[in-house]
Amino acid sequence: MSVVIEKRIAILSLKRIGDAIYTLPLIEALKQQGKAGHITVFTEPQVAAIYEANPFIDDVQVFRKADFWRQTLMQLKAGRFDVCIVLHNAFKYALLPFLARIPVRVGYIKEGRGWLLTHKLPLPTSVTHRLEHNARLGDLLGVDARGILPQIYLAEKETQQSQDLLKHLGLVAGGYVVMVVGSISPTRRWFHDRFAAVVKRIAVEFKLTVIIVGGPDDVEAGESVMHLSNGLARNLAGRTSLRETIWLMRSAAAMVTNDTGPMHVASAIGIPVVTWYGAANEDEIAPPSPNTTILNARVPCSPCVKESCANGLICLTGITPDMVMTTLKEKL
């Protein structure tokens, strides 16, 4: 059953960078296909940069985790929204638009929350890509989000700001490779010595600088790779905001990365990306960008989608520096 969309749509977004990236095609479809006059995204600080400067989003409301539920409820009540799309699957997020008395409430059925939603679907019983997962909610709203690639946009002022950042760091557009050596899960982290081996070969074979980026949790890993590469990599992990990291990605020759949120950002930007999947399920979260290449050792126990490994991380040991460099040579 489809529904005719009115003017104002609220979207309760997701907390991780990769998940936020995969909400963008649905948002674009709502606007491009004439189903929304005004779209407000409610999100948390760690992913807010994904939605900045997006021409299909009219307003981004950003609240810290501790304040998110209370502040969002207040804004939903005050915003006179016609529709709320609940991308979170937890019960409490479906409760928000119900308490705010928003007429059309869209989401997946989980945790007994189906009665809070007016337009709903059961969660998929088989592996479903995140883009398709969100597109099915679009079906309920009469829009088709399939075939739309996620994109990251820059505001006009950011062009000069990004150039200033490059100058400050002594970098030249196209003269460096971005690298992410951390990841949220230990079963997605390649080995520091192998990253360092790739850094050395990039410097020798491509004459390019390697810039390590990431959040505060990635600083130590970045220092390790920098040390193992004899200082050929520069560690900027924890020193740039997500938005500044996006500027650095846009001017990079390529990215070499673990399976991380920033990897999905780089794919959405469209630069060449070399990554690999071990424990994670490629069929569920693989970036759709044609410029992203995913290496996979295809071991019998993968994908396990686990946070720990009893098999010596053979899915990651099967990824070699030679494999990464061969793929980079095809892209550069």
In tens, the pLDDT along 210-266 reads 999 999 999 999 999 999 999 999 999 999 999 999 999 999 999 999 999 999 999
* Residue 187 in domain: yes
Which of 113, 140, 167 corresponds to the end of one domain?
Answer: 140
CA distance 143 to 221: 43
Residue 132 and residue 168 in one domain: no
Burial of 290 from C-beta contacts in 10 A (0-12 / 13-18 / 19+):
exposed
- Quote the mean pLDDT of the chain: 94
DSSP notation for 248-277: HHHT-SEEEE-SSHHHHHHHHHT--EEEE-
Q: Is residue 2 predicted with pLDDT exceeding 80? A: no
> Which residue range forms the structural domain that includes residue 292?
157-331
* Residue 3 in domain: no
Residue 182 and residue 296 in one domain: yes
Confidence (pLDDT) at 119: 97
CA distance 97 to 91: 11
CA distance 314 to 279: 10
pTM, 2 dp: 0.93
Whole-Å CA distances, 109 to 9, 119, 128, 291: 20, 10, 16, 35
Span 268-285, average pLDDT:
93
Residue 22 and residue 95 in one domain: yes
Q: At what angle do helices 242-250 and 156-169 cross, to 10 degrees?
A: 80
Residue 325 and residue 237 in one domain: yes
Confidence (pLDDT) at 80: 92
Q: Are strands 83-86 and 59-62 parallel, antiparallel or unpaired?
A: unpaired
Confidence of residue 6 (pLDDT cuts 50, 70, 90): low
* Residue 39 in domain: yes
Residues in the chain: 332
Confidence (pLDDT) at 316: 95
Q: What is the pLDDT of residues 104-127, one digit of tens each?
A: 999 999 999 999 999 999 999 999
Which of 140, 171, 186 corresponds to the end of one domain?
Answer: 140
* Residue 151 in domain: no
Residue 325 and residue 192 in one domain: yes
* Residue 61 in domain: yes
Q: How far is CA 33 from the centre of its chain?
A: 24
Q: Is residue 324 predicted with pLDDT exceeding 80? A: yes
Sheet strands side by side (includes 176-180): 233-235, 209-212, 176-180, 254-257, 273-276, 292-295
CB burial of 107-126 (b: ≥16 within 10 Å; e: otherwise) equals: bbbeeebeebbbbbbeeeee
Residue 92 and residue 163 in one domain: no
CATH number at residue 286: 3.40.50.2000
Domains in the chain: how many in total?
A: 2
Residue 175 and residue 322 in one domain: yes
Q: Are 212 and 234 in contact (CB under 8 A)?
A: yes
Pick from 286, 280, 306: nearest CA to 21: 286
Residue 192 and residue 318 in one domain: yes
Q: Are 224 and 244 in contact (CB under 8 A)?
A: no
Residue 264 and residue 216 in one domain: yes
* Residue 2 in domain: no
Residue 220 and residue 279 in one domain: yes
Confidence (pLDDT) at 1: 47
Confidence (pLDDT) at 18: 94
Residue 211 and residue 300 in one domain: yes
Residue 22 and residue 96 in one domain: yes
Which of 140, 169, 198 corresponds to the end of one domain?
Answer: 140
Q: Are 91 and 70 in contact (CB under 8 A)?
A: no
* Residue 108 in domain: yes
* Residue 265 in domain: yes
